[in-house]
Amino acid sequence: MAAGLGLLGGLGVFLVWWSCWESPPRPPRSLRAGRVERLIRQAGIQRVSPAGLLASCMAFGLVVAFSLFVVTAAWPVAACFGLFASWLPMALVSWQARRRAGVVRELWPDAVDHLRSAIRAGLPLPEALIQLGTKGPEPLRAVFLDFAGDYRSGGSFGSALDRLKERLADPVADRIIEALRLTRDVGGSDLGRLLGTLAEFLRDNARTRSELEARQSWTVNAARLAVAAPWLVLLLLATRPEAMAAYAKPAGLLVLGGGLAASAVCYRLMLRIGSLPAERRVLR
């Protein structure tokens, strides 16, 4: 009884001590988003949730595995190709995210020039951003039209900028938006010069990165072909029943498992070695 009262009293003292400290603020939703959600946002896909994308991966993998099992009657081979197929929707979203990032990287200098011209003409910052929805680069107009709707419906420039950052999900956009937010809050007369310097830097960076990506693509595509070649041969062997019967034995399972592990490790290693450093969103 005494031990229980002592434990209860100690718990009460701890709770009183704990209430004296402020809990850390929760990060915004854009920082708490998972990797899949950030990938979907970077790809510019609006109506697909992370759960829906993962469900699509599982469903596509099961369909491919079942189809190959019906054709070959070898469940180990069907399971391997089902695993490969389950990654295809995610790979397509990743490809779309990289493609969109490349397109947006080429368009940001023009968008910054339009914004700089509007500010020099005397337009307020919100109106200059809203103008990009009609006079800016075509692929970026939709997000700035959404910004116009957010700003006109709520009237809060900061909240509209936060939602614009979430839609764009781009490190260059983060820098531009934070520069505009700082200018709006503290004032300043060097915003036009800042945007001009930023546009020149973005053009040089986009030109250099395009050259590096063109040279990198030859190496990466050759490595991908080297990883895929053995599995293409296995797919051709699927037309021979005796070959599929051999892969259904324990030794065949060991060969398939080793090949699957080697392919996964080598592919990830190839991507790590051949990848270019990506810009991180440090101003999210």
- Residue 268 located in a structural domain: yes
For residue 263, how far is the Cα from the chain centroid? 24
Answer yes or no: are the C-beta atoms of 114 and 131 closer than 8 Å. Answer: yes
- Residue 130 located in a structural domain: yes
CA distance 245 to 249: 7
- Residue 4 located in a structural domain: no
CA distance 217 to 98: 13
Cβ neighbors of 53 (< 8 A, separation 6 or more) are: 36, 40, 89, 90, 93
Tell me the residue range of the domain where 222 lies: 50-273
Report the alpha-carbon angle 228-232-235, nearest 5.
140
Give one word for 146, left, alpha or beta, with left for phi > 0 and alpha for psi -120 to 50.
Answer: alpha
Q: Quick one: pLDDT at residue 116?
A: 85
- Residue 104 located in a structural domain: yes
Q: Quick one: pLDDT at residue 62?
A: 92
- Residue 8 located in a structural domain: no
CA distance 204 to 172: 14
Q: Quick one: pLDDT at residue 9?
A: 64
- Residue 60 located in a structural domain: yes
The one-letter amino acid at 256: L
Q: What is the pLDDT of residues 225-235, one digit of tens each?
A: 888 888 888 88
Q: Distances in Å between the alpha carbon of 210 and those of 253, 272, 280? A: 43, 19, 18
- Residue 69 located in a structural domain: yes
Q: Quick one: pLDDT at residue 58?
A: 92
Q: What is the pLDDT of residues 112-165, one digit of tens each?
A: 888 888 888 888 888 888 888 888 888 888 888 888 888 888 778 888 888 888
Cβ neighbors of 169 (< 8 A, separation 6 or more) are: 30, 38, 41, 42, 281
| Backbone torsions φ then ψ of 281, nearest 5 degrees | -85, 85
The domain tally of the chain equals 1
Number of other residues whose CB lies within 10 A of the CB of residue 227: 14
Ranges of the chain with pLDDT below 50: 23-32
Look at the pTM and tell me if it is higher than 0.75: no
SS3 sequence, 252-267? HHHHHHHHHHHHHHHH
- Residue 175 located in a structural domain: yes
